[in-house]
């Protein structure tokens, strides 16, 4: 409050906006746990037996939907496996919130702790997809965060432009595993800080010409340091 706020474009302070898939939510873990539970439910002794059926069901799902819709996947899986297990019991596995919560990166929770609890910095989780699957994940997040009693807003399935517009006047830190998204965001608002999370050093998985993110990190917790350093820097100015 010491500064003349009218001359300060970032008068509302920092906000950290995080992408969901492969940034805070690990899809491979989700799929592994989901498949392990289905293997047991359908009574296969070996997961390899289950997996060959699951691949077929995945294929059919993609042909029908264009993406992995777990509800449609279960429908195909039930047909292919000729199981007597009722569809509702298979869906129970899918709608179990712990499946989603276990698929959140540990480091994401640590980051929320550092930013929201310790520093009172708002955090947002967004997904640009419009898929039902995303909605389920978002709902699970809401549950999880309510348990933690943290004030984290779930932006949900919005367009990047709308997400950024919500935070006019904030210093936005945008975190994503895809440089294409970061580049698009920077094009929409040049004053944001872009952070590319590259956990397994999968360099150029999503190659973007003529773009470099402001930061490249391997662990989400690094974001807390980046934001703090910037804040201290602003105070010295």
22 touching Mg ion, by CB under 5 A: yes
Instruction: Check: CB of residue 167 under 8 Å from CB of residue 17.
Output: yes
| Count, residues near Mg ion per rule CB under 5 A | 4
CB of 214 to Mg ion, least distance (A): 18
CA–CA–CA angle 226, 229, 233 (5° rounding): 135
Nearest approach in angstroms of CB 237 to Mg ion is 33
Binding to Mg ion, residues 67-126 (CB under 5 A): none
Binder among 15, 16, 18, 21 for Mg ion (CB under 5 A): 21
Long-range contact pairs involving 37-41 (C-beta distance under 8 Å, separation at least 24): 37/93, 37/99, 38/77, 38/90, 38/93, 41/85, 41/89, 41/90, 41/93
Nearer to Mg ion, 21 or 184 (CB): 21
Q: Residue 196, interface with Mg ion (CB under 5 A)?
A: no
Least distance to Mg ion, CB of residue 203, Å: 16
Distance CA 224, CA 237 (A): 20
Contact of 126 with 155, CB cutoff 8 Å: yes
- Of the residues 17, 19, 138, 226, which one makes contact with Mg ion according to CB under 5 A: 19
Sheet harboring 193-197: ordered strands across? 152-157, 123-127, 14-19, 171-176, 193-197, 215-217
**Which of these ranges, 13-21, 75-83, 128-136, 183-191, lies near Mg ion under the rule CB under 5 A?**
13-21
Applying CB under 5 A, the span of 17-25, 36-44, 66-74, 205-213 interacting with Mg ion comes to: 17-25
Closer of 177 and 184 to Mg ion (Cβ): 177
Give the tokens for residue 86. Answer: 């009722």
CB of 20 to Mg ion, least distance (A): 7
Nearest-Å Rg of the Cα atoms of the chain is 20
Position of minimal CB gap to Mg ion: 21
Q: Concatenated DSSP letters for 55-88?
A: HHHHHHHHHHHSS--HHHHHHHHHHHHT--S-HH
Q: Nearest approach, Cβ of 180 to Mg ion (angstroms)? A: 10
Cα–Cα distance measured from residue 167 to residue 66, given in angstroms and rounded to the nearest whole number: 33
Smallest separation, CB 182 to Mg ion (Å): 11
Considering only 15-23, 58-66, 72-80, 223-231, which stretch makes contact with Mg ion by CB under 5 A? 15-23
- Cα–Cα distance, 137 to 94 (Å, whole number): 11
Kindly state whether residue 184 participates in binding Mg ion, applying the rule CB under 5 A.
no
Question: Closest separation between CB of residue 68 and Mg ion, Å?
Answer: 14
Residue nearer to Mg ion on the CB measure, 222 or 234: 222
The residues of the shown chain that bind Mg ion, judged by CB under 5 A, are 19, 21-22, 177
């Amino acid at each position: 409050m010491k500064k003349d706020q009218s001359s300060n474009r970032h008068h509302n302070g920092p906000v950290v906006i995080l992408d969901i898939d492969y940034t805070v939510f690990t899809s491979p873990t989700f799929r592994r746990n989901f498949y392990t539970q289905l293997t047991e439910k359908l009574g296969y002794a070996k997961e390899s037996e289950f997996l060959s059926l699951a691949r077929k069901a995945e294929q059919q799902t993609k042909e029908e939907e264009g993406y992995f819709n777990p509800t449609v996947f279960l429908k195909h899986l039930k047909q292919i496996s000729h199981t007597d297990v009722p569809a509702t019991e298979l869906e129970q596995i899918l709608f179990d919130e712990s499946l989603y919560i276990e698929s959140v990166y540990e480091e994401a929770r640590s980051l929320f702790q550092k930013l929201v609890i310790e520093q009172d910095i708002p955090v947002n989780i967004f997904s640009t997809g419009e898929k039902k699957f995303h909605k389920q994940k978002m709902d699970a997040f809401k549950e999880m965060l309510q348990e933690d009693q943290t004030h984290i807003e779930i932006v949900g399935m919005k367009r990047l432009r709308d997400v950024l517009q919500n935070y006019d006047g904030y210093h936005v830190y945008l975190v994503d595993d895809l440089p294409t998204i970061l580049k698009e965001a920077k094009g929409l608002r040049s004053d944001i800080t872009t952070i590319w999370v590259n956990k397994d050093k999968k360099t150029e998985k999503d190659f973007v010409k003529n773009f470099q993110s402001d930061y490249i990190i391997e662990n989400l917790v690094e974001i807390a340091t980046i934001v703090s350093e910037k804040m201290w820097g602003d105070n010295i100015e």
